[in-house]
Structure 1
Amino acid sequence: MSYLKFDKSLMINLEQSLPKEILRTNKSGAYHCTTIVDCNTRKQHGLLVIPIPELDSDNHVLLSSLDETVIQHGAPFNLGLHKYQGNCYSPNGHKYIREFTCESVPQTIYRVGGVVLTKEKVFISHENRILIKYTLVDAHSETTLQFRPFLAFRNANALCVENQNIDQSYELAENGISYSLYPGYPRLYMQFSKPVTFTFGPYWNKGIEYIKDQERGYEYKEDLYVPGYFELPIKKGESIIFSAGIGEIKPRSLNALYAREIKNRTFRSSFFNSLKNSAQQFYIKRGKDNYLLAGYPWFKVRARDTFIALPGCTLAIGDKEMFEKIMATAEKAIRHFMKTGEKDTTIQEIDEPDIILWCIWALQQYAKEISLTECSEKYGKLIDEMIDYIMKGHHPNLFLHENGLLYSNGKDQIISWMNSTLYGRPLIPRSGYLVEFNALWYNALKFVASLPVNSEKTGRIEKLEALAEKSGMSFKDMFLNDCGYLFDYVDGNFADWSVRPNMLFALSTEFSPLDKTQRKTALDVVTRELLTPKGIRTLSPKSHGYNPTYAGSQEERDKAYHQGSTRPWLMGAYADAYLKVFGLSGVSFLERMLIGFEEEMSNNCIGTISELFDGNPPFMGRGAISFAPNVGEILRILNLLKKYNHL
C-alpha cells in the first residue's frame, strides 16, 4: 500500500481534494506545482514554471496546464479541471479519477467507461523540462487522446489577460511544436514520444479563477492562450510521453530519460522519506554555486533560512557533501560582505545582524554530526574571522557593548526573523538586546573556544572564555525575569514581557548561559503557553496582541504573522531544550509531538510542511506550501531521536 494514496471518494470531493497540492522541482529553480486533481488554485501554479534570469529574478509560468481528452466512438471525455465565476468548475475531469498516489512520482488513474488511463509526471533534474507519461492500461475499442495546452508566458506573481501582443506563430519540432508568446521569453517545446497531429485553433480561455489568491485578497482572474490541440491514437498497453521544455529534444530519447530520472527518486514510503524528498527539492544549483531555497512557491534564497534549514536538509539525511557545497557558496558571500559591506545578489538578507550567528550555529551542527576536528579543519578559520568581525565592531548594526552583550537597532528596520511590517515599518519593533542574538552569541563564543584550531592559542582561548563569562552573567541579569522566563528583548529601561519562542535558543544551544533549573523553569512556560501539535506559537495567548489566525487581507495576515501563528521549525530548538532537561525520558514525549507533523504529509502540499499554522485549533496550514526551515528542523529532530533511541 502506498504511503501517500488518495482514493476516488476524496478525489471527486473538491472540498477535500482542492486544498491538497503537489510540488515537483528540478533542483535548479524550476518547478511544477498544482493540486492533486490538476486544477490550478494559485497564480504560481503551473506545469512548467522556470526562472528566466534575462528578464528578472522571479519565476515565470510558461505552460499553465494541459487538458487531456479521451475520445472513444467519437465521444470526447475531457479530463481537465478549471474554476470559473460563480463557483463553476469545468470540464469536471476529476469525476473520472479513481486514485492518486505519490510514492515515487505523482500518478493519477482515470477510468472513462471501459478506458483505464494512468498519468505520471517527472521533472528532469537540472533541466527546465517536465515529462508526463500516459499509459492506456485497458480499453475495449479504439482510443484517441487529445491535448490542449494552456499557455501563460508571464511572471509567476502576475496574471495574464487577453491581449493583441502575443505572437501566435509556432514552429514545427519533431513530434510537436514550439511557441514563444512574447519577446524575451525562451521557446517552449511541446513534443511527444510518437508522431502527433497538431491542429491550429487559437482562442483565449477567459476568466479562470484562482481560489487561493482570492482568499488572500489578491487579483485572481486570468485569461490563458490555447493555440489548438494535439491528437494521437493510443493502443491498450501502450505508453506515450509528453515533454515540455525550453529546448528541443529527440523524441526517441524520452523513454530512456524518463526511466533514468525515476531511478534517482527517493520513494515517499515513510514520514522520513517524504521529508527527505522534500528537503532535496530545496537544493538549487546555478553554475558552480549551490544554494538552499527558503521555500515554494514564492520564496527565494535567504541567508537566515539557509543556515537554519541547512543541517536538517543535508546532514540529517546523510548528505554531508551537499552541506559543504551549499556552505562553500554561502562562505563566499559572507566573506565578501565582511570585507566590502556589499550584499549578495542571490543570497538575500546576508547583511542582517544575526546572520553570522546563525552561520556559526549551522557549523556547530556540522561539528556535532561529523566531528569537531573536521569542522575545525574545514571551517575554523571562517568561524574565527566571523567572531573577530563582531568583536571588532565591523558590522553596521551589531554592537558589542561593555557588558559582553550584542545590541542592534530594530526600531525602524527589520533585524530578526520576526520580520513582518506594516506601511514599511516593523510590526514588532524588536530593538536593543535581543534574547536569541545573545543566546547564540554566548554559544558561539564557547564553541569557538572549544575548536581544536584554537587549542594552542592560549591567549585567544582565555580572551574568548573571559568574554563568554561576562556575556553569560550579563545575559542572566538582563533577560531572566521574576516569572521564570526570559524577556524577548530589552532596550534601555524597556523590557518586553511578551512570552515568545525566542527564549528557546537560550535553552537549546550546546552552551547555555542558564543553569538546568533556570532552563527547566523557562521551558515549562514555553510548553504551557506556546507548544501546539504543529509547532511553537510566536506569541502566548496570554500576551497582549495575540492573533492566532493567519487569514484575510495582506494587512490582516501581516498582523497575525508573528502574533500567535505557529512555526514548525521552532520545534528543533524545543526538542534540543527538552532533551537537555529531561534526557532519555523526554524521547517518547517528543515522538508523540511529531505525530502532528506526520499528519501533514497528506495535507496541504503533500509530503512536505507548510510555512506556518494557525495558533488555535484546528491549526490550519498557511503561507508558503513548502518551507525549508520547517522540513530541515523536523528532519533534525528525527535524526536526534534516532540517536537517543540507540543509546
Structure 2
Amino acid sequence: MSYLKFDKKLMINLEQSLPKEMLRTNQSGAYHCTTIVDCNTRKQHGLLVVPVPELGNSWHVLLSSLDETVYQHGVPFNLALHRYRGGVMSPNGHKYIREFDCENVPRTTYRVGGVILTKEKIFISNENRLLIRYTLVEAHSPTTLRFRPVLAFRDANELCIANNALDQTIPQIDNGVSACLYPGYPTLYMQFSHKPTWTYEPNWYNGFEYVKDLERGVPYSEDLWVPGYFEVPIKKGESIIFSAGLSEVSPRSLARMYEKEIAQRTCRSSFFNCLKNAVKQCYLNDGDSMYLLSGYPWGKILARNTFMALPGATIAINHREDFEKIAATSLKALRHFMATGELDSRINGIDLPDIPLWAIWSLQQYAKAYGREDAAAKYLPEVRDILNFILSQRHPLLKVDSNGMVNTEGTEKPMSWMNASLGGHPIVPRSGLLVEFNALWYNALIFASRLAEGTPDETRFREAAEKMAQPFIATFLNDFGYLYDYVNGTYADPSVRPNMAIAIGLDYSPLDRRQRKSVLDIVTRELLTPKGLRTLSPKSYGYRPSYLGSPEEREMALHNGPARPWLMGFYSDAYLKVFGMSGVSYIDRMLIGFEDEMSNGCIGSLSQLYDANPPFSGRGAISHVTNIAEVLRTLTTLKKFIMD
C-alpha cells in the first residue's frame, strides 16, 4: 500500500488537495508546514517557522514561501499557488503538478511542456535549517529557475500589514542573501549550492488570504514582503539545493548535508512508521533538557500531555533512552513544584491536580516494558515522593478525603483535561470527586505498593488503596451500569463521558470484571466512533458533535461531543482485559479508522479531535502528540498481546 503518494488527478483538484497538509520539524522547535500543493491556508503555515525566545514562547514565521518559476525560451511558467483577497487563486502552479510523494521526504514532481522538475524538502535535525533540492529530470532546451522569497517575520499567531518599519537592507552573502526585517529577530540566510544571480526588486504583495482562519472566524488576511528574486540556470540531470537557515553555511557543504540527513529518515511506508515519524516530530531537544510538544501548529509544552503521551511516544517505538530523558526533565519540574510551589518556566500546568497521577501512570508503563526491578531502581523514590506529597495533603489542588478518595475544586477553574472555558470559567465544571482522578489514584497506589515490595511502603500504599476501593464503587457505579463522571457533594453528574473508559482501562481498578464489562458496554454503545471516543454521548444533554463556528461555539463544543483518538488507548486496554484474545480482532478492526487518516488532514499524522458524527472530519491542531502516542501504544499492546 502507498500511504503518502498522490497523483495528478487529486493534486489539481483543489477541493481535494488544499485540505491535505504536511508537517516537518527539526526536533528543536522549528517547523515547516503547508498544504501538499504548497499553498498556505492558515497563518501558522510557512516554509521556515522558528522559535525566537527573545520575543516570547511563540513560533515566528520568517520565510512564508519560496515562489518558483521555470523559464524556457524566455517564457515563464510559475509553479506557485496563493489565495488572494476575494478567494482568487493565483498563479495556479498546481496545474503543473504530476505527483506528490511524502513517504521518504516530501517530493513534488512538476511537468511543464518538456520539462520535468522535482522538488524535495528536508529539515536538518536539531538545526534551524530547511533544505530544498530541485532536480531537472528532463528538459529539451536551456532552462532557468527563478525564486522569489516571500518574507513575513511575524508571530505565527498574528498577521502582517504593509508598513514602513521594516529594514529593507538585503546584504549579499556567499551564493545568496540575508534579511532581518525587524529588531529582535534573527537574521535569515538564504543560499544556493550553485551561484545565483540576485535582483533586488522590493515589493509588498497584498491581500494573502488564509481559508482555514476564515473558517474559524478569526482574522485571515495579510500582506507579505518580497525583496527580489534569484535566478539559477539548471541542466538536465542536475540538482540545485536551496538553504534557509539562521546561520550562514558553505554552499559546497549543502549536497553533503542533504545526503547525510536523508540517510537517517524512516520511510513512511506503513501505518506504524507514519505514526512513529509523526510522534518524533513532537520531540523538543533543548540542550540537556528534552520535552514533548503537545502538537502543531499551535502546541505548547504541557505537563498533562507530556505524561499522557510519554509511553506511546517513546516506549512504543523502542526509544527507552528518550523516555528517560523526557521523564527526567518533567519529573524535575514536578519535584521543584512539590518542594517550593513554584511553576516551571517551560512546562505549563505542572501544578494541576492530576499531573502527579499521570506521572505515575507513565512510570508504570515503563515498569511494564522494562521490568519492575529496573523501574524500582530508577523511579521508586520519585513514586514514593509523589504519593507522600498527596497523602500528606500538601498538594494545593488535590486533597484526600477521609474515605481515601481524592477531590479537587473545579467550579471556578478547569482542573481536568476537559479544560474548555469561556470568560475564565469552565464550560464543564467538573469538581469534587472526578472519576478518572480517583481511578488513577487507586491505580497509582497499587502500582506503588508492588514497586515498593519488601519495604514498609508496600503495606502503607496497599492499605491506602484498599481504603478507597469500596467508596469508589459506591460513589461512581450507578444503577444503569456505568460510572458517574464526577460527584460533587450530593450531585452526581449522569453525563455519559469517556473518563469512565480511563477508569476501566487502567491495570488496577476497584471494579471487578463484570462491572468493567457493564461500563464497557455503555462506552461502546454510546461513545465509540472510528476516530476514538466521543467526549459526550449523543443521548446526553448539551451534545455538540461538530467543532465548527466562531471561537466561542468551538469552545462550547470542545468537550461536548467531538471524538478523541487518545481515548482508544484506554478503551482497547479495557476491551482486552474483559474479552482477552477474542477481543484482538475487534480492536485491530477499530484501528483501521486511524489508518485511513494517514492520507487525510495532516498526512501521516492525527488531528487533535474529530467530529462525533459522520464523516468524522478532523479538527483543531493538525498533529496532536497524545493522539499519535496512544494509538502507537495500542498498536504495540495489541502486538504484545498476540505474542504472549
Which TM class, normalised by the smaller chain length? over 0.9
Q: How many Å apart are 1:379 and its aligned residue?
A: 0.5
Aligned to 1:355: 355
Paired with 1:69 and 1:141, the residues of 2 have a C-alpha distance of 16
Contact 1:121 1:130 in 2 (8 A): yes
Superposed, which structure 2 residues align to 1:352-501 within 5 Å?
Answer: 352-451=352-451, 454-458=452-456, 460-501=457-498
Paired with 1:2 and 1:292, the residues of 2 have a C-alpha distance of 29
Q: How many Å apart are 1:268 and its aligned residue?
A: 0.2
Query: TM-score, normalised on structure 1?
Result: 0.99
Please say if 1:518 is aligned against 2:515. Answer: yes
Paired with 2:203 and 2:334, the residues of 1 have a C-alpha distance of 51
Paired with 2:317 and 2:71, the residues of 1 have a C-alpha distance of 46
Paired with 1:131 and 1:461, the residues of 2 have a C-alpha distance of 55
Q: How many Å apart are 1:178 and its aligned residue?
A: 0.1
Q: Which amino acid aligns with 2:262?
A: I
- Aligned partner of residue 247 in structure 1, secondary structure: coil
Aligned to 1:244: 244
Measured on the aligned residues, the alpha-carbon RMSD in Å equals 0.7
**CA shift digits 1:241-273 (9 cap, x unpaired):** 000001000000000000011011111010000
Aligned to 1:615: 612
- Aligned partner of residue 380 in structure 1, secondary structure: helix
Aligned to 2:261: 261
- Aligned partner of residue 151 in structure 2, secondary structure: strand
Aligned to 1:148: 148
Contact 1:608 1:626 in 2 (8 A): yes
Contact 1:353 1:398 in 2 (8 A): yes
Q: How many Å apart are 1:3 and its aligned residue?
A: 2.7
Q: How many Å apart are 1:292 and its aligned residue?
A: 0.5
Please say if 1:571 is aligned against 2:571. Answer: no
- Aligned partner of residue 558 in structure 1, secondary structure: helix
**CA shift digits 1:519-572 (9 cap, x unpaired):** 000000000000000000000000000001001110010010000000000000
Unaligned runs of 5+ in 2: none
Q: How many Å apart are 1:85 and its aligned residue?
A: 2.1
Q: In percent, how many aligned pairs have the same letter?
A: 63
Paired with 2:348 and 2:604, the residues of 1 have a C-alpha distance of 27
- Aligned partner of residue 118 in structure 2, secondary structure: strand
Superposed, which structure 2 residues align to 1:206-225 within 5 Å?
Answer: 206-225=206-225
Superposed, which structure 2 residues align to 1:7-156 within 5 Å?
Answer: 7-156=7-156
Aligned to 1:202: 202
- Aligned partner of residue 119 in structure 1, secondary structure: strand
Aligned to 2:271: 271
- Aligned partner of residue 376 in structure 1, secondary structure: helix
Paired with 1:606 and 1:167, the residues of 2 have a C-alpha distance of 37
Paired with 2:460 and 2:365, the residues of 1 have a C-alpha distance of 24
Q: How many Å apart are 1:432 and its aligned residue?
A: 0.1
Contact 1:390 1:400 in 2 (8 A): yes
Q: How many Å apart are 1:414 and its aligned residue?
A: 1.0
Q: How many Å apart are 1:464 and its aligned residue?
A: 1.5
Please say if 1:590 is aligned against 2:587. Answer: yes
Aligned to 1:301: 301
Paired with 1:266 and 1:569, the residues of 2 have a C-alpha distance of 24
Paired with 2:179 and 2:329, the residues of 1 have a C-alpha distance of 36
- Aligned partner of residue 54 in structure 2, secondary structure: coil
Contact 2:87 2:209 in 1 (8 A): no
Aligned to 1:310: 310
Please say if 1:536 is aligned against 2:541. Answer: no
Paired with 2:274 and 2:130, the residues of 1 have a C-alpha distance of 21
Q: How many Å apart are 1:331 and its aligned residue?
A: 1.2
**CA shift digits 1:138-157 (9 cap, x unpaired):** 00000000000000000000
Contact 2:3 2:598 in 1 (8 A): no
Q: How many Å apart are 1:170 and its aligned residue?
A: 1.1
Paired with 2:18 and 2:74, the residues of 1 have a C-alpha distance of 31
Contact 1:78 1:91 in 2 (8 A): yes
Q: How many Å apart are 1:287 and its aligned residue?
A: 1.4
Contact 1:506 1:513 in 2 (8 A): no
Paired with 1:507 and 1:603, the residues of 2 have a C-alpha distance of 31
Paired with 1:253 and 1:586, the residues of 2 have a C-alpha distance of 54
Paired with 1:436 and 1:511, the residues of 2 have a C-alpha distance of 12
**CA shift digits 1:382-404 (9 cap, x unpaired):** 00000000000000010001111
- Aligned partner of residue 386 in structure 1, secondary structure: helix
Q: How many Å apart are 1:506 and its aligned residue?
A: 1.7
Query: TM-score, normalised on structure 2?
Result: 0.99
Q: Select between 139-148 and 260-269 the one with higher mean Cα deviation.
A: 260-269
- Aligned partner of residue 116 in structure 1, secondary structure: strand
Q: Count residues with an aligned counterpart.
A: 644
4+ residue segments displaced more than 6 Å: none
Q: How many Å apart are 1:86 and its aligned residue?
A: 2.4
- Aligned partner of residue 191 in structure 2, secondary structure: strand
Paired with 2:216 and 2:172, the residues of 1 have a C-alpha distance of 41
Q: How many Å apart are 1:456 and its aligned residue?
A: 2.6
Q: Which amino acid aligns with 2:573?
A: D
Aligned to 2:340: 340
Q: How many Å apart are 1:645 and its aligned residue?
A: 2.0
- Aligned partner of residue 572 in structure 2, secondary structure: helix
Paired with 1:322 and 1:466, the residues of 2 have a C-alpha distance of 34
Paired with 1:165 and 1:14, the residues of 2 have a C-alpha distance of 36
**CA shift digits 1:429-451 (9 cap, x unpaired):** 00000000000000000000001
**CA shift digits 1:467-517 (9 cap, x unpaired):** 111111110011010000000000110000000000112211111110000
Say which of 601, 606, 629 aligns to 1:604.
Answer: 601
Say which of 576, 581, 585 aligns to 2:578.
Answer: 581
Paired with 1:545 and 1:339, the residues of 2 have a C-alpha distance of 41
Q: Which amino acid aligns with 2:572?
A: A
Say which of 594, 597, 622 aligns to 1:625.
Answer: 622
Paired with 1:227 and 1:432, the residues of 2 have a C-alpha distance of 59
Q: How many Å apart are 1:158 and its aligned residue?
A: 0.2
Paired with 1:287 and 1:272, the residues of 2 have a C-alpha distance of 29
Contact 2:60 2:156 in 1 (8 A): yes
Paired with 2:549 and 2:118, the residues of 1 have a C-alpha distance of 38
- Aligned partner of residue 539 in structure 2, secondary structure: coil
Q: Which amino acid aligns with 1:457?
A: T
Q: Which amino acid aligns with 1:95?
A: K
Paired with 1:162 and 1:505, the residues of 2 have a C-alpha distance of 50
Q: Which amino acid aligns with 1:630?
A: N
Contact 2:3 2:599 in 1 (8 A): no
Paired with 1:604 and 1:217, the residues of 2 have a C-alpha distance of 20
Q: How many Å apart are 1:108 and its aligned residue?
A: 0.1
- Aligned partner of residue 104 in structure 1, secondary structure: coil
Aligned to 1:503: 500
**CA shift digits 1:183-212 (9 cap, x unpaired):** 011110000001001100000010000000
Q: How many Å apart are 1:95 and its aligned residue?
A: 0.2
Q: Which amino acid aligns with 2:507?
A: E
Q: How many Å apart are 1:644 and its aligned residue?
A: 1.8
Paired with 2:424 and 2:630, the residues of 1 have a C-alpha distance of 30
Q: How many Å apart are 1:72 and its aligned residue?
A: 0.2
Q: How many Å apart are 1:372 and its aligned residue?
A: 1.0
Aligned to 1:179: 179
- Aligned partner of residue 54 in structure 1, secondary structure: helix
Contact 1:2 1:101 in 2 (8 A): no
